[in-house]
Amino acid sequence: MGVHLHLAATSDLNISRLMENPKLIWTLVFADQFNAMRTNPHFPPPRYALEPEPVQLRETLGEYWHGIHYLMCGQVWSGHFPDAFLIDGGSYVGDVDVGYGPARVFESCEVKHITQTVVNKTAAELVRNFDANQMLDEDIYPQIWDGNDGTLALDACLNRFKAMQHFMHHAAKNHLGLTLYLSRTTEA
């Protein structure tokens, strides 16, 4: 069980609705369950709801989100936008704690800006910031950067980064914004 970062492509209309009614974030966090309930004829329609997304795009960076941030920025808890978007930036969706604080949203214009940076990064650029000892000293989550575990963790970061590049490309191409949030998840 660990702390996982989740990305969900979200229309600007739904971002606006989330900002007006932050409790709607639960319909996004638990989208699979919520959508199953919506198809049940005995389930009353919600008074306020998010619109179905035109393109269903979701990705998780798993426990490697902090490592990916570090590889992108070379910094622990800071950095410059758009490189540091996993840790900072966007707008908080009220004060609804969805696991580890509130979700954050980025509108479609911000996603396009982030995407330009993310899709142009190469694995070689990210690897330049990899320093297992420094990452352990700095407590970069999930703190498994040395020895064989470090090699596996670096590979996992690079694989998750590549999936994030793909996700961001499709979100920007479809003029979608982004919701990201941290949760405690078990993952096989």
Give the number of other CB atoms < 10 A from CB of residue 166: 13
User: How much is the pLDDT for 188?
Assistant: 37
Q: Is the pLDDT of residue 11 over 70?
A: yes
157 touches 5 (CB < 8 A): no
Q: Which of 11-20, 85-94, 117-126, 147-156 shows the lowest mean pLDDT across its residues? A: 147-156
> Which residues does residue 80 pair with via DSSP β-bridges, in sequence order?
none
pLDDT in tens, 70-115: 999 999 999 999 999 999 999 999 999 998 999 999 999 999 999 9
User: How much is the pLDDT for 27?
Assistant: 87
Task: Specify the pTM.
Answer: 0.88
Q: Is the pLDDT of residue 145 over 90?
A: no
Please indicate whether residue 33 or residue 26 has the higher confidence score (pLDDT): 26
- Count Cβ atoms within 10 A of the Cβ of residue 91 and give its class: 0-12 exposed, 13-18 middle, 19 or more buried: middle
H or E segment at 9? Answer: strand 2-10
Q: Is the pLDDT of residue 143 over 90?
A: no
160 touches 64 (CB < 8 A): yes
C-alpha 148/C-alpha 137 separation (Å) is: 17
Q: Band of the pLDDT at 32, cuts 50, 70, 90?
A: low
Residue 175's alpha-carbon distances to 115, 119, 163, in angstroms, are 11, 16, 18
**Domain range 2-11+54-185, CATH architecture:** 3-Layer(aba) Sandwich (3.40)
